[in-house]
Amino acid sequence: MNNIKIREANESDLTVLIEFEQEIITAERAFDNSLKEDEIQYYDFQDLIASPKAKVLVAEIENEIVGSGYAAIKDAELYLKHRQYAYLGLMYVKPTYRGKGINQHILQVLKEWVIEKKITEIRLVVYDANTGAKNAYQKAGFNAHVLEMRMEI
Q: Where do the structural domains in the chain lie, given as residue ranges?
A: 4-139
What is the distance between the alpha carbons of residues 6 and 123, in angstroms, rounded to a whole number? 21
Task: Say how far apart CA 122 and CA 10 lie, in whole Å.
Answer: 23
> Which CATH code is given to the segment(s) 4-139?
3.40.630.30
In order along its 153 residues, the chain shows pLDDT tens digits of 569 999 999 999 999 999 999 999 999 999 999 999 999 999 999 999 999 999 999 999 999 999 999 999 999 999 999 999 999 999 999 999 999 999 999 999 999 999 999 999 999 999 999 998 999 899 999 999 988 888 889
